[in-house]
C-alpha cells in the first residue's frame, strides 16, 4: 500500500548512519595477522659472520573482502625478501622488503621492516632455546591502517631428536592511526613438529590475532588459522617450508598456501 505524504516515516537517519560508522571503525580497528611473514621462530639464529636470505611467499586461495583501507585478500600473493646477518652467536640483524601481487597482476609495494633478534647461544641448554625478536615497520595503509609500528616477539622452543615445539606470544605495538589509541595487540603463534628420520618434519603451525589487550575482539572477529606444515631437514644450510592453512573464524583468510625458502652463506 502506498503511503501518503503525511504518513511517511519521519524517523531521523542518524541511527543507521551511526551503525555504518561503527562498522567502519570496528573494521579499521581489526588488524590482520601479518600476511607477509607466516612463520614461527624457533630460537635459532645465524652464526657470527654468517649471512642468510629467505624468500617468503604465500597465495591466499580463498580470502576476505576489502575492509577499507585494507584491500581484499582473496587471490593475493604476498612476497617477502628477508636478508639477515649474524653479529654474535646470540644476536642477528635482519630486514624485510615486502611486495604483493593483486589478482589482476598489479604489483604493490608492501613496506619495509627492520629487526634485531636475540637468542640463547648454542650449547646454553641441550633442549631449550629462548629469545626475543624486535621489529620496526613502515607499511602502506592498504596493508596496515596504522602504517608505523613495532613488534615484540618472545621466543621459547624445545627440541630433541624427534620433536620440535615453539611458541611466540607476539605483541604488536601500533605507533599511529586508530591502533595507537587502542594500544598493543596480542598475536600468538605456535608450532609442533615431528621429525621423520631427520629427513623431513611434519606437523602444525598456529597463528592468531586476538585484538588489543585493552579489549580483545569477540571470538568470531578474532583471527585463528591452523597450518599443516612440512620442512626439509636433510640439506645443510637450506631451509624449505611448505604449509596449507585453514582459517577457523569468519575474520580469517579461509585457505592459504605458503612456502619459505632460505639459505645460509
Distance of alpha carbon 172 from alpha carbon 208, whole angstroms: 12
What are the percentages of helix, strand and coil residues in the chain, rounded to 5? 10, 50, 35
Pick the more confident residue, 88 or 29: 88
Q: Locate 221 and state its grid cell.
A: 572477529
For cell 654468517, the residue is 50
pTM: 0.88
pLDDT tens for each residue of 130-179: 999 999 999 999 999 999 999 999 999 999 999 999 999 999 999 999 89
pLDDT tens for each residue of 78-97: 999 999 999 999 999 999 99
Q: Which domains does the chain have, with CATH numbers?
A: 13-264 (2.40.160.40)
CA angle 239, 74, 231 (to 5 degrees): 15
Confidence bin at 21 (pLDDT 50/70/90): very low
Q: Locate 261 and state its grid cell.
A: 625458502
Burial class (CB in 10 A: 0-12, 13-18, 19+), 153: buried
Amino acid at each position: 500500500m502506498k503511503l501518503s505524504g503525511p504518513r511517511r516515516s519521519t524517523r531521523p537517519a542518524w541511527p543507521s548512519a551511526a551503525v555504518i560508522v561503527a562498522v567502519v571503525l570496528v573494521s579499521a580497528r581489526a588488524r590482520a595477522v601479518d600476511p607477509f611473514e607466516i612463520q614461527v621462530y624457533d630460537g635459532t639464529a645465524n652464526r657470527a659472520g654468517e649471512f642468510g636470505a629467505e624468500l617468503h611467499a604465500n597465495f591466499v586461495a580463498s580470502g576476505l573482502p576489502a575492509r577499507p583501507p585494507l584491500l581484499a585478500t582473496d587471490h593475493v600473493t604476498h612476497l617477502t625478501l628477508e636478508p639477515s646477518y649474524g653479529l654474535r652467536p646470540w644476536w642477528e640483524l635482519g630486514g624485510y622488503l615486502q611486495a604483493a601481487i593483486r589478482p589482476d597482476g598489479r604489483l604493490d609495494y608492501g613496506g619495509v621492516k627492520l629487526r634485531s633478534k636475540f637468542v640463547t647461544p648454542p650449547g646454553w641448554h641441550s633442549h631449550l632455546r629462548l629469545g626475543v625478536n624486535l621489529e620496526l615497520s613502515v607499511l602502506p595503509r592498504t596493508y596496515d591502517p596504522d602504517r608505523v609500528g613495532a613488534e615484540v616477539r618472545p621466543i621459547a622452543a624445545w627440541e630433541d631428536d624427534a620433536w620440535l615445539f615453539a611458541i611466540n606470544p607476539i605483541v604488536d605495538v601500533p605507533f599511529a592511526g586508530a591502533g595507537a589509541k587502542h594500544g598493543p595487540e596480542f598475536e600468538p603463534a605456535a608450532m609442533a613438529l615431528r621429525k621423520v628420520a631427520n629427513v623431513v618434519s611434519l606437523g602444525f603451525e598456529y597463528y592468531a590475532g586476538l585484538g588489543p589487550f585493552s579489549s580483545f575482539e569477540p571470538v568470531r572477529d578474532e583471527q585463528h588459522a591452523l597450518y599443516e606444515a612440512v620442512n626439509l631437514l636433510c640439506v645443510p644450510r637450506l631451509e624449505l617450508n611448505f604449509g596449507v592453512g585453514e582459517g577457523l573464524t569468519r575474520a580469517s583468510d579461509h585457505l592459504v598456501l605458503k612456502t619459505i625458502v632460505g639459505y645460509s652463506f
